[in-house]
Amino acid sequence: MISEQIDFKDIKKLKLEMTRFMMAYKFALDEMNTKLNILKEEFNYIHDYNPIEHVSSRVKSPESIFKKILKKGCPLSLDSIKHNIRDIAGLRITVSFISDIYKLKNMLESQKDITIIETKDYIKHPKPNGYQSLHMIIEIPIFMSDREEKVFVEVQIRTIAMDFWASLEHKIYYKYNKEIPENLVQELKEAATTANALDLKMERLNKEILEHKAAEQKKEETLITINEDQFRLPLNLLESLIQMKN
């Protein structure tokens, strides 16, 4: 009877610890979403443009975490999970253009409470199957009621075209139970090349539009300056006439 009570207390304690452990990752995602919303509003206000199209987030399930820790052969403890599984909290950010990926990367790196642990650039160095994206493992502080926790978050930043390709590849990968036929593998690589070509073309078009907009704005500023100069002449003449009269 005593042993059963002890077991029950141990189970209850473990459940509480696991709940708090998982909550920390949820709070980390809440913190990151708040940061991204601030960056979006600020960027839109200053540049009249929002580089972020969509943000999605997820926390791995306990079952998925345990499978991964067993696969890695790491000790089955919360401390071991925390230090060896760095993608429990995941954030995926979809942007319009490739240049936006690096702009957003620089914005995150400039945040004082964000520590960049690791960066993998699969855009400059795509995976063999054609996958492209920018991956970052970051660490941010979460302030609990009785302590401060530093939590790992995996951030993936990609364009709309990259995200579309990755979503379809993921579905095909699991549809064929991770054994994709060779002809489909080749077609997926070709699709990745096509998606990249589309990204580069849209990047070029966007650059031309921005350059045209800047030229038009400069032209308007020049016309305003000319009109101001024309307006000053009668005023100067009027001042001279007043002085002559006095």
Q: Which has the closest alpha carbon to 197: 156, 155, 165?
A: 165
First and final C-alpha spacing in the chain: 113
- Active-site residue flag, 154: yes
The span from the CA of 102 to the CA of 122, in Å, is: 12
C-alpha distance from residue 243 to each of 31, 230, 237, 240 (Å): 66, 21, 10, 5
The span from the CA of 139 to the CA of 115, in Å, is: 5
- Catalytic residue (choose from 149, 154, 190, 216): 154
Q: How many CA atoms lie within 13 A of 206 on its CB side?
A: 13
- The answer to whether residues 131 and 169 touch, using CB atoms and an 8 Å cutoff, is yes
Q: What six digits make up the tokens of 37? A: 């919303």
The span from the CA of 172 to the CA of 60, in Å, is: 21
Q: Tell me the catalytic residues.
A: 154
